[in-house]
Amino acid sequence: MANESLARSTPYLAVDLGVLDRNVEAMAKLARDRGVSLRPHVKTHKCREIATRQTGAGAVGITVATTSEAEIFADAGFRDVFIAYPLWVDAARGARLRSLGERCALRIGVDSSEAVAALARNTSGRGDVEVLIEVDCGHHRTGVVPEAAGELAVAAARAGLGVRGVFTFPGHSYNPGGAERAAADEARALGQAAASFQSAGMECDVVSGGSTPTARFAAAGPINEIRPGSYVFNDAQQLELGTCAAGDIALTAVATVVSRSAGKVVLDAGGKVLGADRPAWATGYGRLADYPQARVCALSEHHATVEWPSSLALPELGAVLGVVPNHCCAAVNLADELLVVVDGAASVVWTVLARGANG
């Protein structure tokens, strides 16, 4: 266990395996209890070892955001992959998707008739490239209005594509107190989309919702698949949204106090380690794992400035502290590896296999 090859200079990312495994199992149980399929989003962790745990716990397949993530996970042996993204498919991407379709069951998101036509044209309209129609349930980023899903499904089928169903991402669940309403929006929009399939004479096998904040509101109803991602690690966002408790956080940036002044310390983990995500409602750029009242009040590329609670003594220079990033997906995508900790001891290193796989 005290393996010298596992010694790391700060800053680095550490994963508490016990917490991770508990989170993986809790979401698998939630999906079983609610009678929905679980297709976790692996953009969060980009690690083969974690995806393997998720499928081992009963996930029906994986969700990815990009073609290159799909390629990397297909090469790693995953056989059921959904690219939950409205790809624009030119000839080069079409060739990559055809190759992927030979290696795994592949689904792709679409949200326009133009994208359907481009996908069909550049994959020779093969029925084994299946699509899900993306609908907007209130996040207003991508997706058609729910009532238009059936019409687009018909267009996709006419273009020779296999149409499996509908999906949405309730991104507006990322607001304090907003998750339950977003989950209701999600269920309503997916229900309307499925109904519009029926009106158009199309079958709708898959009705897929997303997001860690809304997962706990998933209930019997139109939704039959969920795609949460962040739940494996959790982060300061999920904590401040009330989606998780402090004890459910599996990922921390391990950092050293390099400077101190009145009421604050500076750590050597900046935005290039933690990520710079900061929603308007967040209380800072991150939290301290063992000091609930401390806040990362300023962030540079290589410095996190922490406001220290006045009731506590400032930590010494050289003290090593755990920082909880605001957004685990962003932090992990900055790291080439994760140090896995078991019962407090460094155990093994996992490669962030799909780090930077955006293309």
- Name the site residues for its own copies (rule: CB under 8 A): 7-12, 43, 65-68, 85-88, 90, 92-93, 96, 111-112, 114-115, 118, 140-143, 171, 256-261, 266, 268-269, 271-273, 275-278, 298, 300-303, 305, 316-318, 329-330, 333-336, 356, 358-359
Q: Considering the complex, what minimum distance in angstroms separates the CB of residue 134 from its own copies?
A: 8
Residue 99 vs 300, nearer CB to its own copies? 300
**173, 124 contact by CB (below 8 A):** no
Name which of 8 and 126 has its Cβ closer to its own copies. Answer: 8
Considering the complex, state which of residue 258 and residue 342 has its C-beta at the smaller distance from its own copies. 258
Residue 18 sits at φ, ψ, to 5 deg, of -60, -45
- Give the type of residue at 49: E
Give min distance, CB of 188 to its own copies, in A: 20
Q: How far is the CB of 72 from its own copies (least distance, A)?
A: 13
Q: Tell me the CA distances in angstroms from 295 to 275, 308, 322, 331, one per residue in order.
A: 15, 7, 12, 17
Say which residue the tokens 């996190």 belong to. Answer: 304
Which of 104, 100, 99, 133 is closest to 116 using CA atoms? 133
Which residues 6+ apart lie within 8 Å of 127 measured at CB? 160, 161, 162
> Cβ of residue 241: shortest distance to its own copies, in angstroms?
16
Min CB(214)–its own copies separation in Å: 16
> In angstroms, what is the minimal distance from the CB of 293 to its own copies?
21
**348 beta partners:** 340
Please tell me the distance from the alpha carbon of residue 189 to that of residue 38, in angstroms, as a whole number: 19
- Nearer to its own copies by Cβ, of 250 and 273: the residue is 273
H or E element, residue 84: strand 80-86
Nearer to its own copies, 150 or 171 (CB): 171
Count CA within 13 A, CB hemisphere, residue 357: 24
Omega of the bond prior to 279 within 30 degrees of 0, cis? Answer: no
- Pair 193, 165: CB distance under 8 Å: no
Q: Enter the tokens of residue 276.
A: 């710079």
- What CA–CA distance (Å, rounded) separates 35 from 75? 30
Of 301 and 343, CB closest to its own copies:
301
Nearer to its own copies, 10 or 37 (CB): 10
Contact 192, 207 (CB under 8 A): no
Cβ(239)–Cβ(205) below 8 Å: no
Work out how close the CB of 349 gets to its own copies at its nearest, in angstroms, rounded to a whole number.
13
For its own copies, give the closer residue by CB, 94 or 222. 94
Q: Is residue 31 a contact partner of residue 55, using CB atoms and an 8 Å limit?
A: no
- C-beta of 172: minimal distance to its own copies in Å? 12
Cβ-based nearer residue to its own copies, 22 or 355: 355
Question: Cα 344 to chain center, whole Å?
Answer: 26
What phi and psi, each to the nearest 5 degrees, are found at residue 297?
-90, -15
Q: Cβ of residue 42: shortest distance to its own copies, in angstroms? A: 12
